[in-house]
Amino acid sequence: MKHCLVVDDSSVIRKVARRILEDLSFSITEAEDGQQALEQCQQHMPDAILLDWNMPVMDGLEFLGQLRKLDGGQGPKVVFCTTENDVGHIARAIRAGANEYIMKPFDREIVEAKFQEVGLI
Amino acid sequence: MTPAEYDYLRQFLKQRSGLVLSNEKQYLIESRLLPVARKSGLASITALVAKLRDPRESMLADAVVEAMTTNESFFFRDKVPFDHFTQVMMPAMLERRAMKRQIRIWCAAASTGQESYSLAMCLKEMGSKLAGWRIEIVGTDISNEVLDRAKAGVYSQFEVQRGLPIQMLLKYFVQNGDQWTISNELRSMVQWKKFNLLESFAGLGQFDIVFCRNVLIYFDQPTKADILSRVSKTMTPDGFLVLGAAETVVGLTDAFKPVQDRRGLYAPNVPGQTAAAPTPATRFAFGSGAA
Ligand SMILES: C[S@@+](CC[C@H](N)C(=O)[O-])C[C@H]1O[C@@H](n2cnc3c(N)ncnc32)[C@H](O)[C@@H]1O
């Protein structure tokens, strides 16, 4: 079973994402901000990370930068999932090493399509 | 709606667009056609049917046909056909048309344009290999409404997130709030035309590659067979046909045969020739034939 870390400060979004990804046969762990996510990754590197942008403590972009510097941090496929939906943000995320990008609001079809796109399913 | 009215509509749709409705689709008719009726100031399906029987009501007839079409489409739908396009069809065509340097592609049920624009993106990604080539994409559909959308090339945030890789979105679209418009360069690669697959293909010219996906599923066996056989006649004998994931030529026509190991991909059945992906052997055969 592939492991996906869901990083979002909204518990509602984490719950929705969890439900969709569990249906796609992922095992899920959650983090509320970039700092928590980074600590989890240092313990155990996931296969996939669904990543919000705006979060307290450490935002998604900074987390991504730190992640990619970690030992094994190139491994996880990172799919941003954020309300930031302008070309500037998307381009920055991709340059920072994101594999795909979901603009909120999202649904099951979009998550599935994007995870397929990066070869996770 | 009376059974007689339902029968009339079923026959009408079958004759106009090929659409076959089973016995139990009254609810579908009602939900799709009541808005059409209301738009024309008619209160019921009964009134709509009465008016449809008047041969002068061709606008209404078109509106009814369009309202009953299913137009769902996505960018890079099912992915595999587009891999076939860049890995099999285009490399083969670049060899087979090396003299002519011209390739014509037909999206025979183009709907809102995602399929045609996906092909245009594939071509763009092939870059300088296509320098000096003239490549036409013709997108046709029975519905003016979807063709208008295809022409405009404006897609919602939802539509650009189903199947379109984010890199392609950045590269080939211009953002307008939460709308995304296909770039002028890509738009200029596709010609749009209203066209009914039940009518003669005479004016269309000859195609090397045909995408006819997710439209035959709505037709009965004889209609499918007839369209496939006529499609084969609009194609160059060494061309390629792509059907939808749930469609096949098997049991319908001898005009095409499956290309080995390439699901959903077919080649015209030319007696004495075997269809194959361009392996070194066939490449040699075609290369020497074309040169
Ligand atoms: C489900 S869409 C397929 C779009 C695209 N090929 C794809 O696979 O995503 C089917 C399209 O076929 C069109 N169609 C239905 N009957 C047709 C006919 N007789 N001639 C031409 N187009 C037709 C409909 O208007 C609709 O846009």
**pLDDT tens digits along A45-104:** 999 999 999 999 999 999 999 999 999 999 999 999 999 999 999 999 999 999 999 999
- B243 CB within 6 A, ligand 1: no
Peptide bond into B165 cis (omega under 30): no
Residues of chain A neighbouring B166 (CB-CB closer than 8 A): 90, 94, 100-101, 117
* Beta bridge mates, A82: A103
Choose between B119 and B279: higher pLDDT: B119
Give Dmax over CA atoms of chain B in angstroms.
Answer: 67
Residues of chain A neighbouring B161 (CB-CB closer than 8 A): 102-103, 106, 110, 113-114
CATH number of B80-289: 3.40.50.150
Using one digit for the tens of pLDDT, what is the confidence trace for B187-196? 999 999 999 9
State residue A7 phi and psi, 5-degree precision.
Answer: -115, 110
Using one digit for the tens of pLDDT, what is the confidence trace for A40-61? 999 999 999 999 999 999 999 9
CA distance A89 to A68: 18
Mean pLDDT within A12-24 = 98
Task: Please give, rounded to a whole number of angstroms, the shortest distance from the CA of B264 to a CA of chain A.
Answer: 20
Mean pLDDT within A15-32 = 98
pLDDT range class, residue B276, cuts 50, 70, 90: low
How would you classify the pairing of strands B179-182 and B154-156? antiparallel
Residues of A engaging B, defined by a Cβ cutoff of 8 Å: 85-87, 90-91, 94, 100-103, 106-107, 109-110, 113-114, 116-117
How far, in Å, are A112, B51, B163, B202 from residue B230 at the CA level?
37, 33, 31, 10
Range(s) within chain B of domains with CATH label 1.10.155.10: 3-69
pLDDT of B285 reads 42
Residue B8, class by beta-carbon neighbours within 10 Å (0-12 exposed, 13-18 middle, 19+ buried)?
middle
Q: Does residue B291 carry a pLDDT above 50?
A: no
Mean pLDDT within B71-95 = 97
CA distance A93 to A99: 9
- B196 CB within 6 A, ligand 1: yes
Query: For the domain with range A2-107, which CATH number is right: 3.30.2130.30, 2.130.10.10, 3.40.50.2300, 1.20.1300.10?
Result: 3.40.50.2300
Task: Please give, rounded to a whole number of angstroms, the shortest distance from the CA of A74 to a CA of chain B.
Answer: 19
How far, in Å, are A99, B5, B111, B162 from residue B146 at the CA level?
32, 27, 5, 18
- B231 CB within 6 A, ligand 1: no
pLDDT of B223 reads 98
User: Shortest CA distance to B201 belongs to which of B227, B171, B176?
Assistant: B227
Q: Of all residues in chain B, what percent carry a pLDDT higher than 90? A: 90
pLDDT range class, residue B106, cuts 50, 70, 90: very high
Q: What is the pTM of this model?
A: 0.93
Type and span of the H or E element at B115: helix B114-126
pLDDT of B289 reads 37
Choose between A59 and B55: higher pLDDT: A59
Choose between B275 and B107: higher pLDDT: B107
Task: Please give, rounded to a whole number of angstroms, the shortest distance from the CA of A114 to a CA of chain B.
Answer: 7
Please give the distance of CA B163 from its chain centroid, rounded to a whole number.
17
CA distance A24 to B252: 36
Q: Does residue A107 carry a pLDDT above 80?
A: yes
Q: Does residue B203 carry a pLDDT above 70?
A: yes
**B72 CA: nearest ligand 1 atom:** 1
Mean pLDDT within B110-124 = 98
CATH number of B3-69: 1.10.155.10
Q: Does residue B179 carry a pLDDT above 70?
A: yes
Residues of chain A neighbouring B170 (CB-CB closer than 8 A): 87, 90-91, 94
pLDDT of B270 reads 83
CB contact under 8 A, A102 and B161: yes
- B247 CB within 6 A, ligand 1: no
- B208 CB within 6 A, ligand 1: no
Q: What is the mean pLDDT of chain B?
A: 93
Pair B39, B47: CB distance under 8 Å: no
pLDDT of B275 reads 54
Task: Please give, rounded to a whole number of angstroms, the shortest distance from the CA of A116 to a CA of chain B.
Answer: 9
pLDDT range class, residue B55, cuts 50, 70, 90: confident
User: What residue segments make up the domains of chain A, in order of their start?
Assistant: 2-107
Residues of chain A neighbouring B167 (CB-CB closer than 8 A): 94
pLDDT range class, residue B272, cuts 50, 70, 90: low
